[in-house]
Chains A and B, each alone.
Chain A
Amino acid sequence: MASIKEQFEIPGKLKTWAYALIGIGGVALLVGMFTKGFSNDEHEQVHFWGTLMYNTIFWTLVTNAAMFFLCFSTMAQAAWMQSFRRIAEAISTLVPVFGAITFAVLMYVVLGNKHHIYHWLDAAAVAKDPVLKGKAGFLNPTFFIIWTTLAIGLWSYFGYRMRQISREADENPMDLATATKFNIRSMTRSGFFLVWFGLTVASTIPWLWLMSIDAHWYSTMYSWYTFASSFVAGMALIALWVIYVKNKGYLELTNQEHIHDIAKFMFAFSIFWTYLWFSQYMLIWYANIPEETVYFKHRVQGAYKPIFFLNLVINFLAPLIILMKRSAKRNFTLVAFMAVLILFGHWIDFYQMVMGSLMKEHVTLGWLDFGILGFFVGVLILMVARSLASKPLIVKNHPFLKESIIHQV
């Protein structure tokens, strides 16, 4: 394996792009913050903080999905992803960064008592409202702050521990006893992450961060829906980075067999997402109870109708039709294109989940949304590239690496 290029060097063009995006996005973010975020008009405030919220929550969950991917693969003792696991690890290093931004934004909203975003923050309204009173044990600032801190902190910590143990496989070749022990330790560490992930991303965190915007409404599908959305976007992000780094002449051991399996995840979880999208919609449509249909009223019949159905076209029809064929999943160009489309589609999904409830009257998609998106993408590009350059690209003494090299679908 002498010809393997282990050291990633950040291409100058990538840096330029990243800085340009951070610059333009940063300007949009600051302009938005001072003209809207700190204005006296409640609408403008809600517009800005809502936009920032869905962006930062989206990217936190998407980068966290990369660590989730590593952890469940480790738990299943999967070998095929070992040849590119450093890509997923590099993406997951963004969890503390985006997590910190999310934390700051949410703290501003909760401590600043922005009850136009979270209605349950309004103590006077809660006191008069039997529904909100009933939920107050869960929906209250104290619990929100503690649970948010724990969630972001432990995702970052367990993720860090996972990346640390993978660094051990860089050093020395392992004999059977060491490799067995290494494997069991990896599985234990991924277990901690997975349990915490289940208690947060797959249940409580979407309730707290997103669903509580519609404080009266609830859906038992909501967390899975959010998880599916962020996970499929996370797989798309991994695919995009793997293809980019491979096109730059690295990752010699990763080939179309691996891309095929990543694309299968993108395909399968697009359909899983649709399953939840539809189940959530159909049960509410069928029961037709006003307390429940309130969520869909302005999405299916109001201003958000085009976005709501565009969402379904991008995130269901396009992956279903385009990624169905085996040859499409093995085609780097097509997978890269679909990865961008899926990322955009689920970003739009998060947009309508948050802004569809905050700005019911009109669609606000505009310069602010794309500016903030640009900022986050810029940070993501720069920091993932830096993280990739700081470690070898191949975990060369990992016990499962051989199996990944000969992986065949």
Chain B
Amino acid sequence: MAQKKFVVGCFDDEKVLFPAVKQVRTAGYKIQDVYTPFPVHGLDHALGMRETSLHTAGFIYGITGTTTAISAISWIFTKDWPLNIGGKPHFALPAWIPIIFELTVLFAAVGMVMTFMWLCQMAPGVKKHHFHKRATDDLFVMVIECNEKTNAEDLKALLASNGAVETDIQVAEDGWWFGTYDTENDNLYKQVAH
């Protein structure tokens, strides 16, 4: 839970956004994220983000599900409570495969959804700072975190000269938190006067 200072630039056109992303990165700033109303093809590459590890996590969850199912069923049916079912052997692998499969899918699916929500910092009752309300409607919102060397005014000017229709500086909560938004502030963020 830390308050940080951000420079925010809003764009209303993908064609302007992409060169702007390139310019800002060439100038040496590190873009934290670009919030868009819909998925924009190629934006993750333009931002230089690494490939997600979500599928690796999914594989591990799946393998965990497989192992859980095999070890549980084989222990139950051969050691703990062996039953004669239709004259089949106690270790009846073909009959278990559907359950092994289901548990693999269940673990992978639930695990991946939870990981995804953790990575995106989303959950029921959890709040996150909105840099601009229209990021869910018609604006591409580019957010750059300031460090001690950043000249925020220069950066604002750079964004504006690259076609940002709106720019501002915000001091905002970086992570997620339980609770409510500050209802007194209709804009969901505090504008910093300079």
Q: Contact mask B147-173 → A, CB, 8 Å, 1/0? A: 000000000000000000000000000
State whether the Cβ of A128 lies closer than 8 Å to any Cβ in chain B: no
A107 to chain B, nearest CB (A): 40
Q: Is B55 within 8 A of A326, CB to CB? A: yes
- Contacting B86 at CB < 8 Å: which of A281, A288, A326? A288
Q: Are B42 and A286 in contact (CB under 8 A)?
A: no
Q: Mark A372-409, 1 if CB is under 8 A from B, else 0.
A: 00000000000000000000000000000000000010
Query: Bound complex: CA of A281 vs CA of B94, how far in Å?
Result: 9
Instruction: Determine if A278 and B86 form an interchain contact, defined as CB atoms under 8 angstroms apart.
Output: no
B residues 48-92 with Cβ under 8 Å of A?
Answer: 51, 55, 59, 86-88
Partner of A286, one of B51, B55, B59, B95: B95
A282/B55 contact (C-beta < 8 A), A288-B86, A408-B41 known: no
User: CA of A263 to CA of B59 in the docked complex: distance in angstroms?
Assistant: 19
Are the C-beta atoms of B97 and A278 separated by less than 8 Å?
yes
B97 touches A282 (CB 8 A): yes
Closest to A282 in B: B94
Q: How many Å lie between the Cα of A281 and that of B59 in the bound state?
A: 27
- A-side interface residues, number (CB < 8 Å): 9
0 or 1 for each of A277-306: is its CB under 8 Å from B? (1 = yes): 010011001101000000000000000000
The answer to whether B97 touches A324 (Cβ under 8 A) is no
Range, interface on chain B: 10 to 19
Check B94–A408 contact: CB distance below 8 A: no
B59 near A285 with CB under 8 A, answer no
Minimum Cβ distance to chain A for residue B135 (Å) = 23
Is A285 in contact with B55, judged by CB distance below 8 angstroms? no
Interface residues of A in 317-341 (CB under 8 A from B): 324, 326
A207–B152 alpha-carbon span in the complex (Å): 74
Least distance between A404 CB and chain B CB atoms (Å): 14
User: In the assembly, what is the distance between CA of A324 and CA of B87, in Å?
Assistant: 38
Known: A278-B97, A324-B59, A326-B55. A286 touches B41 (CB 8 A): no
Q: Contacts A324-B59, A326-B55; is A285 near B94 (CB within 8 Å)?
A: yes
Nearest CB of chain B from residue A268's CB, rounded to whole Å: 15
Contact B41 A282 (CB under 8 A): no
Kindly report which residue of chain A lies nearest to residue B85, judged by CB atoms.
A286
Q: Would you give the shortest CB distance from A328 to chain B, in whole angstroms?
A: 12
A176 CA to B41 CA in the complex, in Å? Answer: 25
Chain B residues, CB < 8 A from A278: 94, 97
A289 to chain B, nearest CB (A): 12
A286 with B86: CB separation less than 8 A: yes
Q: How far is the CB of A21 from chain B (nearest CB, A)?
A: 40
Minimum Cβ distance to chain B for residue A309 (Å): 13
Bound-state Cα–Cα, A326 to B41, Å: 18
Q: Which residue from chain B places its CB closest to the CB of A278 in the assembled complex?
A: B97
**In the complex, chain A residues whose CB is within 8 Å of the CB of B55:** 326
With a CB–CB cut-off of 8 A, which chain B residues contact A324?
A: 59
Given A326-B55, A408-B41, A282-B95 contact (CB < 8 Å): yes
Inter-chain CA distance A326–B53, complex, in Å, is 11
Q: How far is the CA of A408 from the CA of B43 in the complex (A)?
A: 12
Closest Cβ of chain B: how far from A307's Cβ, in Å?
19
Question: Which B residues are CB-close (under 8 A) to A326?
Answer: 51, 55
List, in ascending order, chain A residues with CB within 8 A of B42's CB: 408
Instruction: Please name the residue on chain B nearest to A287 by beta carbon.
Output: B86
Q: How far is the CB of B94 from chain A (nearest CB, A)?
A: 5
Query: CA of A324 to CA of B63 in the docked complex: distance in angstroms?
Result: 13
CA distance A59 to B86 in the complex (A): 41
Taking CB atoms, residues of chain B closer than 8 Å to A408 are 41-42
**Chain B residue with the shortest CB-CB distance to A281:** B94
Interface residues of A in 245-278 (CB under 8 A from B): 278
**Nearest B-chain residue to A285, judged by Cβ:** B94
**Cβ–Cβ < 8 Å partners of B98 in chain A:** 282
Q: Distance in Å from the Cβ of A399 to the closest Cβ of chain B?
A: 20
Question: Which residues of A have CB within 8 Å of B87?
Answer: 288
Closest CB-CB distance, B10 to chain A, in whole Å? 25
Which of chain A's residues have a CB closer than 8 A to the CB of B51?
326
C-alpha gap A278/B86 in the complex (Å) = 19
Question: In whole Å, how far is A292's beta carbon from the nearest beta carbon of chain B?
Answer: 14
Contacts of A286 in B (CB 8 A): 86, 88, 94-95
Give the docked Cα–Cα distance between A326 and B88 (Å): 40
Residues of A near B94 (CB, < 8 A) are 278, 281-282, 285-286
* Chain B residues closer than 8 Å to A288, beta-carbon distance: 86-87
Quick one: closest A residue to B45, CB to CB?
A408
Ordered by A's residue number, 18 sampled pairs between the chains whose C-beta atoms are within 8 Å are A278-B94, A278-B97, A281-B94, A282-B94, A282-B95, A282-B97, A282-B98, A285-B94, A286-B86, A286-B88, A286-B95, A288-B86, A288-B87, A324-B59, A326-B51, A326-B55, A408-B41, A408-B42
- Identify 16 new A-B residue pairs, CB closer than 8 A, beyond the known A278-B97, A286-B94, A288-B86: A278-B94, A281-B94, A282-B94, A282-B95, A282-B97, A282-B98, A285-B94, A286-B86, A286-B88, A286-B95, A288-B87, A324-B59, A326-B51, A326-B55, A408-B41, A408-B42
B-side interface residues toward A, CB under 8 Å?
41-42, 51, 55, 59, 86-88, 94-95, 97-98
- The 5 A-B residue pairs whose C-beta atoms are closest, nearest first, are A282-B94, A285-B94, A408-B41, A278-B97, A286-B95
